[in-house]
Structure 1
Amino acid sequence: MAPRNRASWLKEKQSPQNVVDDAPYTEPSTNELVIKTAATAINPADFMIQKLGILINEYPAILGCDVVGQVVQVHPSLADKFEIGDRVVGAAQPLRPKGDCYCYSAFQDYVVLQAPCIAKIPNDVPYKDAVVLPLAFNTAASCLFTAETLELPGPKMPMPESGINGHFIVWGASSSVGACAVQLATAAGYAVIGVGSTKNHGMIQDAGAVKAFDQANSSIVYDISEYLRGKEVVGAFLAVNSEDALKAMCKILDSVGGKKFISSVVPGSEAWATAGVKVTTNFMTGSESRLQCQDAVWPWLNEAMERGEMKYLPKPQVVGNGLGDIQKACDLLEKGVSAKKLVVLI
């Protein structure tokens, strides 16, 4: 008999409240496994989909992108990689229901995960730490390495020498996506320049940035331009929603030369571009190049975690225990947090 599954449901479009109720338990198909959820992390996408009623057409729906837990069922196609009892982290897929079932969404007791976006968690790494990674990791990787974006060479293991491939700017480096971008770019051999609040510079450099700059400094364009003068610059990544930040990055890239290309997480930010700098937005769910990127970076993540090379940043802040606290966590994130990831234990 299948175990009882419960989920945090969004019963109607733009409903202000997630409701805990029964949900179907779904068997894994080819390249899938099922986990018993141990924790989930909250992302801006979760409260934005709920509040704005975007991206999802069929209700009731289950949201949630980041999940960790213990494997309870494995399809034979993955039996050579995973087994029952493994502790794993995975990227949930709330925008890809299986028929009329939201079995790939994170906000439920049992989640179906799809390869390749699954990695084993070392025994000495708490679930609450590992769960900060999946969506931010996928987003950063697709912004850095896909053909439609910066198309940089991917991360290597063992880690290459810092700066061997040039310099790279990450604005919003203390955000969840930004911290993953710093780590990925560093692992690809770039010397990363991180931009964020002064109070978060320690975290930014812990992620691997060789230099951190204060986003609030009025001379930041000049300061970064002078630092990069004479160095090879391969582009930049905008990890926060800020028109002023993107325009500042355009000025920097125009000043120092090199590749005048910014990859952004903000839809529509192409319209903010100046100085002949090309801006591309990462919003390519399911594109062929993004799928190819995931095939490459998740095995790297698995090895980086195993070697102890991956940093679980920003640090988690546990704000709930149980599916009933999902809504509280979404509401807290909407109010704003800095250099932390909100986590709910399940």
Structure 2
Amino acid sequence: MSNQAAWLKAPKANLEVDSAPTAKAGQGEVVIKNAFLAINPVDWKIQSYGFPNYKYPDILGRDIAGEIVEIGQDVTRLHLGQRVIAHALGRLVGDPAYGGFQLYTVAKEITVASIPDSLSYEHAVVLPLSISTAAAGLYQKGFLEVPYSTIDPKPTGKTILFWGGSSSVGSTTIQLAVASGLTVVSTASKKNFDYVKALGAHHVFDHSSATAGCVISQSVSHQLRIYL
């Protein structure tokens, strides 16, 4: 399978579409034929500003959605032809083959999730890095370390505050926190109140209000145990 990528070949350079090595799945990996890609702030910031000691050329891109076309050894959860999303780890593993901005991306099984037929690639592709960021903050050792999310969570007695619950990461984190048994307090613009409540937030406040901090403090500060 012939591969092409949008390469970043030098600091602050434009992306250049050029040939890329053929993707090959190693142990615990799959190759995904990308249908949709998403752009994250980290992508354009690396391109626009450059990072110290950054290795060029590189393939940016963290969020991908597509179809599995190759399965590596010891992969147990996934199968050929499966519709999936994945957090592309190019920069983290130091290998452009794992970058998102190309036709075929190598992905670690642990960063890949299947998606239902009812969810389009276009809508699903924005989820991977958002989920990774939310999960790291909530569950990773040295961070909040709240209980893992479950289908039938037990109340923990803890309340968490999110400032900006309607953002990509905020939306994901609210849902995970509720599924972890936390009571969720969030801020949002008034137009997004219903959206944030639909995600599971128990209390929502207007972040644009000059008295937002005071109102939250007076209303629920006695409940708060975690701030984010």
TM-score range, shorter chain: over 0.9
- 1:234 maps to which of 211, 215, 225: 225
The whole-number CA distance in structure 1 between the counterparts of 2:167 and 2:53 is: 25
Given the alignment of the two structures, is residue 160 of structure 1 paired with residue 156 of structure 2, yes or no?
no
Given the alignment of the two structures, is residue 121 of structure 1 paired with residue 112 of structure 2, yes or no?
no
Given the alignment of the two structures, is residue 197 of structure 1 paired with residue 189 of structure 2, yes or no?
yes
Q: CA 1:121 to 1:176, structure 2 compared with 1: closer, same or farther past 3 Å?
A: same
- 2:106 maps to which of 109, 112, 117: 112
SS at match of 2:110: coil
SS at match of 1:84: coil
**Structure-2-length-normalised TM-score:** 0.94
Runs of 5+ consecutive residues of structure 1 not aligned to the other structure: 238-346
SS at match of 1:106: coil
- 1:96–1:102 Cα contact (<8 Å) kept: no
Runs of 5+ consecutive residues of structure 2 not aligned to the other structure: none
The whole-number CA distance in structure 1 between the counterparts of 2:74 and 2:65 is: 21
Number of positions where the alignment pairs a residue of Structure 1 with one of Structure 2: 228
For the aligned residue pairs, the C-alpha RMSD in angstroms reads 1.6
Q: CA 1:182 to 1:97, structure 2 compared with 1: closer, same or farther past 3 Å?
A: same
The whole-number CA distance in structure 2 between the counterparts of 1:203 and 1:107 is: 31
- 2:158–2:226 Cα contact (<8 Å) kept: no
Amino acid at match of 1:27: K
Q: Which has the higher contact order (CA 8 A, sep 6+)?
A: 1
Match of 2:35 in 1: 38
Match of 1:25 in 2: 22
- 1:49–1:55 Cα contact (<8 Å) kept: no
Q: CA 1:61 to 1:178, structure 2 compared with 1: closer, same or farther past 3 Å?
A: same
Displacement of 1:181 in angstroms is 0.9
Amino acid at match of 1:225: S
The whole-number CA distance in structure 1 between the counterparts of 2:167 and 2:34 is: 24
**Structure-1-length-normalised TM-score:** 0.63
- 1:83 maps to which of 79, 82, 86: 79
Indicate the larger mover: 41-50 or 220-229: 220-229
Displacement of 1:96 in angstroms is 3.1
The whole-number CA distance in structure 2 between the counterparts of 1:132 and 1:56 is: 28
